[in-house]
Structures are given as C-alpha cells and as structure tokens.
Amino acid sequence: MAIRNETRETALLPNAKRLRNALSQAHGLMFRRRITDTGYVFEFSRPQRLGLHMLFVFFPIDCIFLDEDRKAVDLKEGFRPFTFYTSRQKAKYLIEAPAGTIEGKVRLGDRISW
C-alpha cells in the first residue's frame, strides 16, 4: 500500500507493509539490511506513548507517530542504530520509513493516509 501526506498532497512511500500482530511488530526492522522505498505501519489497539529501540537495526530511519485520526503527533528523524526513543504524545499508529522521508514532507498535524 502507498502512504501519502494528504495535508501537503505529497507521496511519502510507494510501498508499505502493515504490521498488526505482536510477533511482526516485535521483529519490525531488526536484522534487516536496509529499507529504501518501503515502510512499515504499526497499528496498536489503543493510543499510547510508544517506547522504541533500535537494537539490531543497523541503519537510521524516520518515525512518524499518528493519532487515531492519522494526524502526525510526533516525528523522529534520523533515529540512529542502538538508541532508544519514547514518543512525546500518545499514538495509535507508527510509520517506520527510510531516513530522509520526513524532511520537508511531514509536519506535526499533517494527515497521513494509506
């Protein structure tokens, strides 16, 4: 599925995979070589502050945190390998994308669709 920024009318990612179950979400990008035009959409049962780690992810990524209306509530650009991050706001969805996806294309409050 493709991911778009509806607010800015721009394409973000031509391909994205939806990760709905706990096993696929737990694995995420760990031990993968790199992502180029593919992203991952994590869907959670309820909005919550999300704690992320980059253990065993060997390249930087961008993260877009979305509320239940799919509006960007937090952004993390260039999330580096072997680091940790906790979202500032509660999010129901998380998009993990290649580094550089957010720059100039996504701002807080933007509505994202897929």
Find where tokens 């391909």 sit.
Answer: 15
Domains of the chain: 3-108 (2.60.120.1140)
Find where tokens 């960007």 sit.
Answer: 72
Q: Exposed e or buried b for every residue in 54-64, given b needs 16+ CB within 10 A?
A: beebeeebbbb
- Give the tens place of pLDDT for each residue, 61-104: 999 999 999 999 999 999 999 999 999 999 999 999 999 999 99
- Give the tens place of pLDDT for each residue, 41-63: 999 999 999 999 998 888 999 99
2: confidence class by pLDDT, cuts 50, 70, 90: very high
Return d(Cα 92, Cα 45) in angstroms, integer: 7
